[in-house]
Amino acid sequence: MSKLISKHITKEIAIPFTVTMLVLIMTMLLGKIFSILELMIMHGVEVNFIIRFIGSIIPTFLIYITPASFLVATLICITKLSSDNEITAMKASGIPMSAIVRPTVIFSVVVFIFSLWVNLYAYPWGNHNVKTLVYELIRTKATAAINERTFYDNFKDSVIYIDSIPNPSSKSPVLENVFISDISDEDMVNIIYAKTGEFISAPDGGSTYLKLNNGELHTKSAGTKNYNIISFNSYLLHLKLGDESARQKHISSREMYPGALKKRIDDWERRRIPNSQLKIELHNRFSLPASVIVFAIIAIPLGIQRVRSPKLTGFALAIAVLIFNYILVKIFEVLGDNGLINHIVAAWAPNALLLIIGILALMSAAKDKQVKVIVWTEKNTVAIIKIFGKLAGIFIRKKHKRK
């Protein structure tokens, strides 16, 4: 009987977990679909590059999607079992609550191992690979990475500003009102302005040039009052991206595997550079996957309460827990970054607090006591989902504006 119950519960969690994962991944990719289509249609980026790019950004979603999907799936499963009176039948048959807890925790351990692998290996690989692909895109398709009215500094020793690109979909779009700051010489200030310009790639694809038309070159030597203006009809500027070794020196903490991140922390310790953020980042690689097990403990007592609409209430409960957990994580991260609390406490306190709440709720549920938060959530399910929708809309709009 115990094996049958374990199989049943595992199946009831696995199906919504898989569906939720896929839906959330597709939702996250939807925010980038227009940029991806623009790269394919307007700039002629190959499908192979797009597939590699999508494969690289998915791990950056999975670190958050995996725990959230597990919580949603577990709450939907347990609330459904409770609503269908299956839990009542199990209690009447003398089957202990451990029959529900055991398969849920075992499934959470499997998800934890997967999430841990994503955080320790897939996440830094994905971030590093995205940067590499963007570098490759800039080198081969310079115009695909440049937007109007944006300061662009990915080229070595040059900052470019383009006022407008009238026809960005053309094979070699014309750039209008181009401003360039050349910072290759510390003793010389060089500002270039051109009415029009266009990117030109060398036949071997290894170099990129910017051909400027009808402009002026303004130069001023440091320490002197000399200011020169040179007018030109045509000017060819070689744009350098820098070598791979120089780019590797500026690897962010998100691109680092745990060993490399620990070395940077030790190096900053020796140089007495504040490194609380790096330490929290390292511990978050472990605390974020561990939240899956905490979610298993807290989801069981919340889910076994009798509700009228199990799926909707389960989803609303998951949103409420995730929002509460997110607020806790951000509060403790700020406290840790400012040195007000220890970095270990900053990384692990949210999990610890949720675990304590989960254990207390589990003890109340074992005594057949109603958990008050369930009553409140069921009454305010629609309001919670509306709030979540508004927050998601604000997040998407802000992300779109930043682009």
pLDDT at 403: 42
Q: Which residues of 11-37 are buried (b: 16+ CB within 10 A; e: fewer)?
A: ebbeebbeebbeebbeebeeeeeeeee
**pLDDT score, position 223:** 67
| CB atoms near residue 399 (< 10 Å) | 11
Residue type, 87: I
Domain ranges of the chain: 2-138+253-402, 155-240
Note if the pTM is more than 0.85: no
How far apart CA 353 and CA 345 sit, in angstroms, is 11
Which neighbouring-strand residues pair with 286? none
Residues 59 and 125 sit within 8 Å (Cβ to Cβ): yes
| DSSP3 helix / strand / coil % (the chain, rounded to 5) | 65, 15, 20
Q: What does the pLDDT read at residue 331?
A: 87
In the prediction, which pLDDT does 328 show? 86
* pLDDT for position 70: 93
Residue 308 burial (10 A CB sphere; 0-12, 13-18, 19+): exposed
Question: Six-digit token pair at 200?
Answer: 């030109």
pLDDT tens string, the chain, 403 residues long: the values are 678 888 888 888 999 999 999 998 888 887 777 767 766 665 567 778 788 888 888 998 899 999 999 998 988 888 887 777 777 777 777 777 777 888 888 999 999 999 999 999 999 999 888 877 776 666 555 555 677 888 877 677 778 888 888 876 666 678 889 988 877 776 777 889 999 988 776 654 456 778 899 999 888 776 667 788 888 898 888 777 654 444 444 678 888 899 999 999 999 889 888 888 899 999 999 999 999 999 988 888 877 765 555 566 667 778 888 888 888 888 888 888 888 889 999 999 999 988 888 888 777 766 666 555 555 555 555 565 555 556 555 544 544 444 4
